Structure 1
Amino acid sequence: MKVMFFTLLLGLATPLFSVFAGSSSANQLQVMDDGILALNQRLELIKKAKKSIEVEYFIYSIDPVGRIFTQALLDKAREGVKVRVLVDKSAPVFELKPFYVLGMKNSLPEDKRENIEVKYFNPTMILQFYSTQFRNHRKLLVIDDEFAVTGGRNIADEYFDLNPEYNFLDRDVLLTGPLAKEMRETFDLFWDAKYAKDAKLPKEPKLSDFHCNHADRSCNGATKKQKFRMAMRRYEKNLNKGLDYVTPNADDAVLLDGIQREGERLNKGSQEVTCNETYFYTDTPGKKSRNQLLKNEIAKLIAETNEKIVVESPYFVLYSKTHNEMTELLDKKVKLTVLTNSLYSTDAVYVAAVFNAMAATYVQEGMQAYIYRGKSPIEWGGVSEEAHEGIWGIHSKSATFDDKHTFIGTYNVDPRSRNLNFEMGIVCKNNPELAKLVTSHIQKRIDGAVKLNNKGKPEDGSKLLFDTSFGKKALYWGLMIPSHIFK
């Protein structure tokens, strides 16, 4: 039994997209767990660009990371590099408003302004609720068709270990090789899709834009001038915001220096792996198709597994079909280990409510379930000490299969990623070196987690809702009632 509330909340609906698959080829892969490393590598790649840069993210924030990332893109646009930015326009998280784009354009010499273009994906009005559910959750940076970065990170402080209150433990992969070009070609599919719209830049108001309504006898020339002046003040205020966003300042310089120093240190200890069977899978905009290769490829990897699967996902929400698939897997005596968020560490309370309602069942069926404690990594390599003391949550979307196949991408274990969002990911097959590396990274995070017993409670005797604020608990308990009824 299902109700509309959970259908809409968790995305149990029919998708409106088809799927594209990349080809197999040898590529170099660098796994990036540290946020500072992941940010510095992005900035260094942008510096290398000679011809083109493609940027595609679900979230693009107006914060220190957004500032320095945007400024790096503009530096290349001034040099003549073509820069295209595609940002999903999901109302709850959308920040890159048109006046920031106008600031980006106006910061460039007039003959260079065409070198940077910005589009919004699916800018549907919030009242069109069904249409707004189809979000572009892909995360991609491509440089000159030679380098590509994908994984769980968006462009915001909390994805790069820099938010003083809450940060994500995430994972990206930097790919160097021929597959980067195919990844860029999928960017083109989204860029050219009818769902992608140019950012409509605000225009400077003119007095002639304002007219009196004939029915309003109080309206006169003075009234029109007053309306014009008010509109002009709003325009100038927003324009100054946009220009300030793209203009480097002393704080940006200090942050960049810290990122570069720490990023270079972390890069020296990072490992690059050659994968001879590298595959790229992505959903593409369009009507539903039987060729949903991303989720089908994941299902195929699961079905072919004989011994063990290790999963790290911020959300772990199964519905009847995926629950049955998991049960079949466990019946084969495959060891399934899952690391996800606790209520304390999650950024989505309703997901914790759904998972905790089912946790006992999952463990009884054979799954080894771990929930993250929310503390900073044991091996801290950050720039911000405030971030070190804040709350940390799992955000990586990764899995390894039989210690030889690896998936790193944007796909969460939940109905939204399976049925609604446009997702993407890299699969490296028959490479024990990479699989064991990623498994070891997940294990380090498991060391900071709590294992659940067959009652869905922490095995160490601690409370399930440890360290959680009263407000978060209240929302959680409100959601637990329908979670138990409709599980």
Structure 2
Amino acid sequence: MPSLPFTPVVTAVRTRYRAAIAGLCALLCATTFTACQQLPAPGPRTQSTTLTSAQASATPLGQAIDTARAAHPDLSGIDPLTQPLQAFASRVDLVRTAQRTLDVQYYIWRDDLTGTLLLEELREAADRGVRVRLLLDDNGIPSSLDNTLAALDAHPNIEVRLFNPFVTRNPKFIGFLTDFSRLNRRMHNKSLTADGVATILGGRNIGDEYFGATDGVVFADLDVLAIGPAASDVAHDFDRYWSSASSWPVKDILPAAPANQLDALDRAARAVRDNPAARAYIDSLEAKTDVRRLLDGTLDFEWAPTRLVSDDPAKALGKAPQASLILSQLKDILGEPQRELDLISPYFVPAEDGTRYFAELAQRGVTVRVLTNSLEATDVVPVHGGYARRRKALLESGVELWELRRAAGVNPAKEQAPGMFGSSGSSLHAKTFAVDAQRVFVGSLNFDPRSANLNTELGLVIESPKLASQIESAFSTRIPQLAYEVKLAPNGSLYWIRRNGDSTIRYDAEPNSRWSTRLAVWFFSILPIEWLL
């Protein structure tokens, strides 16, 4: 298996691709910056690690998990979190349940309703004696959070570190113009682990669009709540990132916060809770979550062997051995698909090597099916351009391509019908794939060159025919009703089929798109920027 880069003018550039877009601008910019700001000399860092198994078992959460695992001692308990509200409420309850430690690692953390509420929950956990370690990629946080993060770091039970930080805080993009090779590499991992024994990981960042708390774009996404060996593996992997050379104590990067900054966080959280527009969403958090079901012994886990796959954090410095990268690990764990590969990725840019690999699978008789965003649903037009240039070759080889439609009238306050890849949101963000209806991957990995070569990623391979079959079934049932099928006409042109019950509609151009957006897709598809996407 080769090293795969599995991997709209821009209407809403995702934070994930800010580095790529800023880098492209830097390459084209005629302005010369003569004074490049440098990171300060590394100072002393406190040493800390996850709890031992004995320490973890002494907590109420550890005791509940030990009881749940009694009949499955060598397996991980997996609970898919497909619904956005459920996924946020479970995070809140996991933070509230922790008694000893919270290890929190994210790429994006918004300064919005859900971001404010979860930061306040972390502070309240620290107030009751929980040790909180918060590791955030510096590209994914707004400068408006700098004072809050500095104030949290001053709390005796909280330490905040920034991964691959920017020296210039506002505007950050200047850093790309002066230090592009370093800042183009980001930490895309996402996990929240309580007391070293229960973790939530997957595709969701922290922001309203990931949890259905917005009237704008709502992402269809997927996380899992995991206990057992999977949670222990994530906890130890967090230690590895926490102590890596790219993780900088926030006090080395940010100035000290104003003395009353934590009071400002309290006021912001109260304002969110008192906002009538947010009242229904916040009230819904009081519903019984899967974390509470775990504590009272009523949560029905899928018990399965798991393997954690995670990039060496040295990848962020361009120094990780090839064997330590996530795609090499997936190759060793998954092997070659024999019957079927079902892949769901919001940003699918297979590039030349990936296109060849998928084509060879299809030509060997393996069913290869891909679900990604349609042009109307994508939030990054340049990425769609990288995908579009490979569509014809993929279809010619027998690969099935499905493109999620943008859902109209999605009500973020209402849960959608569950599915393995998440709710029927207006844009796909889940990252998962299944091999031979036996094994399934859930994590942060997109099938694009950025995930393969530049960003660090994290995920679980789960040996579960039950979960893998749900993805297989989705391609036969739900996906044809939610997505356009891309087809190849006899003359070599592409067309799109939309199904509505038993009826179909044919589109001979990208559905529900303007000619100017299609022109932008074409323009980006011919630029030599695939490696950035």
Structures share a fold, TM > 0.5? yes
Q: Pick from 272, 297, 312: which aligns with 2:301?
A: 272
What residue identity is the alignment partner of 2:381?
Answer: V
Q: Deviations over 1:285-306 (max 9, x none)?
A: 1222132352123334664211
Q: Deviations over 1:108-140 (max 9, x none)?
A: xxxxx2111111100143220011111000001
The equivalent residue for 1:415 is 449
The equivalent residue for 2:338 is 306
Distance (whole Å) between structure 2 residues aligned to residue 240 and residue 144 of structure 1? 27
The equivalent residue for 1:118 is 160
| RMSD value, Cα | 3.5
Task: Kindly indicate whether the alpha-carbon contact (under 8 Å) linking 1:30 and 1:175 is maintained by their aligned counterparts in 2.
Answer: yes
The equivalent residue for 1:110 is none
The equivalent residue for 2:109 is 60
Instruction: State whether structure 2 residue 312 is matched by structure 1 residue 261.
Output: no
Q: Pick from 521, 524, 527: which aligns with 1:476?
A: 521
Question: Structure 1 residues 158, 353: closer, same or farther in 2, change over 3 A?
Answer: same
Task: Kindly indicate whether the alpha-carbon contact (under 8 Å) linking 1:345 and 1:391 is maintained by their aligned counterparts in 2.
Answer: no
Q: CA deviation at 1:254?
A: 4.7
Distance (whole Å) between structure 2 residues aligned to residue 264 and residue 150 of structure 1? 14
Q: Deviations over 1:303-330 (max 9, x none)?
A: 4211111110001112222222222211
Give ranges in structure 1 of 5+ residues lacking alignment: 10-23, 107-112, 205-234
Instruction: State whether structure 2 residue 125 is matched by structure 1 residue 101.
Output: no
Q: Deviations over 1:224-269 (max 9, x none)?
A: xxxxxxxxxxx69988765543556413665321233386799899
Distance (whole Å) between structure 2 residues aligned to residue 271 and residue 38 of structure 1? 16
What residue identity is the alignment partner of 1:456?
Answer: L
What residue identity is the alignment partner of 1:165?
Answer: G
Task: Kindly indicate whether the alpha-carbon contact (under 8 Å) linking 2:440 and 2:462 is maintained by their aligned counterparts in 1.
Answer: yes
Task: Kindly indicate whether the alpha-carbon contact (under 8 Å) linking 1:104 and 1:243 is maintained by their aligned counterparts in 2.
Answer: no
Task: Kindly indicate whether the alpha-carbon contact (under 8 Å) linking 1:341 and 1:372 is maintained by their aligned counterparts in 2.
Answer: yes
Distance (whole Å) between structure 1 residues aligned to residue 469 and residue 148 of structure 2? 43
The equivalent residue for 1:357 is 389
Partner SS state of residue 350, structure 1: helix
Distance (whole Å) between structure 1 residues aligned to residue 144 and residue 128 of structure 2? 23
Instruction: State whether structure 2 residue 237 is matched by structure 1 residue 186.
Output: yes
Distance (whole Å) between structure 2 residues aligned to residue 150 and residue 26 of structure 1? 17
Distance (whole Å) between structure 2 residues aligned to residue 320 and residue 301 of structure 1? 23
Distance (whole Å) between structure 1 residues aligned to residue 343 and residue 243 of structure 2? 34
Partner SS state of residue 149, structure 1: strand
Instruction: State whether structure 2 residue 474 is matched by structure 1 residue 432.
Output: no
What residue identity is the alignment partner of 1:439?
Answer: E
Q: Which protein has the larger Cα radius of gyration, Structure 1 or Structure 2? A: 1
Distance (whole Å) between structure 2 residues aligned to residue 68 and residue 484 of structure 1? 38
Distance (whole Å) between structure 2 residues aligned to residue 253 and residue 136 of structure 1? 33
Q: CA deviation at 1:197?
A: 1.1
Partner SS state of residue 36, structure 1: helix
Task: Kindly indicate whether the alpha-carbon contact (under 8 Å) linking 2:152 and 2:160 is maintained by their aligned counterparts in 1.
Answer: no
Instruction: State whether structure 2 residue 374 is matched by structure 1 residue 322.
Output: no
Partner SS state of residue 345, structure 1: coil
Task: Kindly indicate whether the alpha-carbon contact (under 8 Å) linking 2:369 and 2:401 is maintained by their aligned counterparts in 1.
Answer: yes
Aligned length: 426
What residue identity is the alignment partner of 1:395?
Answer: H
Distance (whole Å) between structure 1 residues aligned to residue 380 and residue 234 of structure 2? 30
The equivalent residue for 1:228 is none
Alignment of 1:144-163 (within 5 A): 144-163=195-214
TM-score normalised over the length of structure 2:
0.72
Q: Deviations over 1:146-193 (max 9, x none)?
A: 101111000000111222111111111110113312211111111111
Task: Kindly indicate whether the alpha-carbon contact (under 8 Å) linking 2:86 and 2:289 is maintained by their aligned counterparts in 1.
Answer: yes
Q: CA deviation at 1:478?
A: 3.3
Q: CA deviation at 1:71?
A: 1.4
Task: Kindly indicate whether the alpha-carbon contact (under 8 Å) linking 1:37 and 1:262 is maintained by their aligned counterparts in 2.
Answer: no
Q: Deviations over 1:330-367 (max 9, x none)?
A: 12110001000111101110111121222121111110
What residue identity is the alignment partner of 1:284?
Answer: D
What residue identity is the alignment partner of 2:496?
Answer: P
Distance (whole Å) between structure 2 residues aligned to residue 289 and residue 278 of structure 1? 23
Task: Kindly indicate whether the alpha-carbon contact (under 8 Å) linking 1:36 and 1:262 is maintained by their aligned counterparts in 2.
Answer: no
- Identity across the alignment (%): 25
Distance (whole Å) between structure 2 residues aligned to residue 382 and residue 75 of structure 1? 26
Partner SS state of residue 218, structure 2: strand
Instruction: State whether structure 2 residue 494 is matched by structure 1 residue 456.
Output: yes
Question: Structure 1 residues 324, 301: closer, same or farther in 2, change over 3 A?
Answer: farther
Q: CA deviation at 1:31?
A: 1.0
The equivalent residue for 1:16 is none
Bigger Cα displacement from structure 2, 133-142 vs 264-273: 264-273
Question: Structure 1 residues 406, 203: closer, same or farther in 2, change over 3 A?
Answer: closer
The equivalent residue for 2:255 is 202
Distance (whole Å) between structure 2 residues aligned to residue 465 and residue 237 of structure 1? 52
Q: Deviations over 1:178-219 (max 9, x none)?
A: 331221111111111121112235347xxxxxxxxxxxxxxx
